[in-house]
Chains A and B, each alone.
Chain A
Amino acid sequence: MRFMSIVTAPRSQQYGNPTPELLEAMGKLADREIKAGRMIDNGGLMPIDQAVRITIANGELSVLDGPFVEAKEVIGGYSITEMASKEEAVALAVEFMQLHKDHMPGWEGTCEVRAFAGFAGS
């Protein structure tokens, strides 16, 4: 089963400046998971100020440059994994979030684990 785990945080806390300890710990975890054949891809995203939004509303398509001051939750990064079960994907996400708790005190956020459509068991 393939999963995407997406980390979101309040705008004020987004990954502008993760501590070096957190970066290092996340790097090690990703390295372990890649070597274990479970992680397919991962990455952190640039701040939302540099994003572009293409929106359809009221039948109108619009292209808008950031910053989006009204955004409350911001996606900071993601990973794509191939796991034997949802429980494994959750276990890894818990481990990943624990690193934030350990290495970036005060940080708050959410990691959402989503299964890809069209895969056996998903």
Chain B
Amino acid sequence: MTVADAHRAVLAIWRIEQPRLITSLARMLRDVPLAEELTQEALLAALEHWPAAGVPERPGAWLMTTARRLALNHLQRVPMLERSHAMLLRELEQDQMLPPDYEATLDDDIGDEMLRLIFTACHPLLPYDARPALALRMICGLTTAEIARAFLASEATVAQRIVRAKRTLTESGLTYETPRGEELAERLSSVLEVIYLIFNEGYTAARGDDWQRPDLCGEALRLGRVTVAIVPHQPEVHGLLALMELNASRTAARTDPAGEPILLLDQDRTLWDQLQIRRGMRSLARAEELGGAGGFYALQAAIVACHARAACAAETDWLRIALLYAELSTVTRSPIVELNRAIAVGMAEGPASGLAILDRIADAPELRSYHLLPSVRGDLLRRLGRYEEARAAFETAAALAGNKRERDLLLKRAREMGEG
């Protein structure tokens, strides 16, 4: 086994154990950033000892003991100003006397702690671009290098974002607790937003050379499943999970062997992952049972479900999709949703009807540099036989596209319209 292999094996165990370590330390120390830092130190200790000495028989217990000892050392180093601090220390010392009980750590239901951790990492007071990084780090156990790779950012940038976010957590004294009532809904929507952001970053990579990064989608799916498991009565959590599962089910069909994107209607549907589609459908049904059919994520999931149900592109229920987009439009008032409605209406009623919707949103400032607006327009114009206008639209779209694969595809479509 090479050193790199050994490190990968340690990291894999670490990722499984990390949520329990960090929640346990956060409970002991009542300080999430510190807890995160000390669990990282426990990882470093494992990376140092395990490759040489071999992975211990109970790696989870080893990590827990190490992390708790680090926490104890920390508390002994800092001056004890408060009585509660001293009591905490005494409790911990007593704990340390007991032999590490692995079964007890398995017994711990970390659901509540995990929820607190998720709410903390996705706190609306944290900088927007720091939340996904912090969630991936604290909840998924990704290293800074892995997060940097996933977001195509430099390690220094990501490290800085994380440091700043942790400082905000410490300085603002954000309470480490589960919000209740109305606050819960508001905070939960920030959590779902972070998860969806991570998923989309992987699903339609906005930058770079690859059209999708499935690893990142996998992390978002995990986060979604974790959240569903701990707040099972919130319909939108199921809606988001359904949306992600149904979209991710098409991963294998979305690119050709050379990595070029294949559009939804051209995909080989036998490559869609039926197991994942079934899971997505189940989550969608759950969201609807809980009264959440009209939610932002559930509506989008219902739209994707229309595609998942169609055995071939020609069987797609575009009328239903157009209706669902109309409903989504009332929820979001977003021109991007209108853009998608134009596609569906264009399929259900014909390209002229779709184009009429596009004309109404052509001047929306949100869409000014959005490549999909001219791309959709080009497609509708093509179907109306207005090839020259279509070519110009595809060229405009290509100039706006940030992803290389997408740009190439749009230029190809422009060429197919003839040389004008």
Contact = CB atoms under 8 A, between A and B. Distances in A.
A95 B103 CA distance: 12
B234 to A, nearest CB: 16
Interface of B: 8-9, 11-13, 15-16, 19, 55, 57-60, 103, 106-107, 111, 214-215, 218-219, 221-226, 229-230, 251-252, 271, 275, 279
Interface centre among B59, B107, B225, B279 (most CB of A within 10 A): B225
27 contacts: A1-B218, A25-B106, A28-B106, A28-B107, A29-B106, A32-B106, A34-B229, A36-B16, A36-B225, A37-B223, A38-B16, A38-B222, A40-B275, A40-B279, A82-B222, A84-B218, A87-B8, A87-B9, A88-B12, A88-B15, A88-B16, A91-B13, A92-B16, A119-B252, A120-B215, A120-B251, A121-B214
A38 B252 CA distance: 20
B12 A118 contact: no
Contacts of A118: 252, 271
B326 to A, nearest CB: 33
A118 B270 CA distance: 12
Contact of A82 (B8, B218, B230): B218
Contact of A87 (B12, B111, B226, B230): B12
Contacts of B13: 91
Which size class do A's interface residues fall under?
20 to 34
Nearest to A37: B225
Contacts, number: 67
A37 B221 contact: yes
A95 B58 CA distance: 8
Contacts of A35: 111, 225-226, 229-230
Interface on chain B toward A: helix, strand, loop, or mixed SS? helix
A90 B230 contact: no
Given A36-B19, A37-B224, A84-B218, A90 B106 contact: no
A98 interface: yes
Contacts of B60: 95
Contacts of A110: none
Contact of A91 (B12, B252, B275): B12
A55 interface: no
Nearest to B106: A28
A36 B251 CA distance: 22
Nearest to A38: B222
Nearest to A89: B12
A25 B219 CA distance: 26
B252 A37 contact: no
7 shortest A-B CB distances, which residue pairs?
Answer: A37-B225, A87-B12, A37-B222, A35-B229, A88-B12, A91-B12, A120-B214
B245 to A, nearest CB: 11
A112 B323 CA distance: 48
Interface string A80-111: 00101101101110110010000000000000
A29 B223 CA distance: 18
Interface string A18-32: 000000010011001
A120 B254 CA distance: 12
Contacts of B215: 84, 120
A91 to B, nearest CB: 4
A93 to B, nearest CB: 11
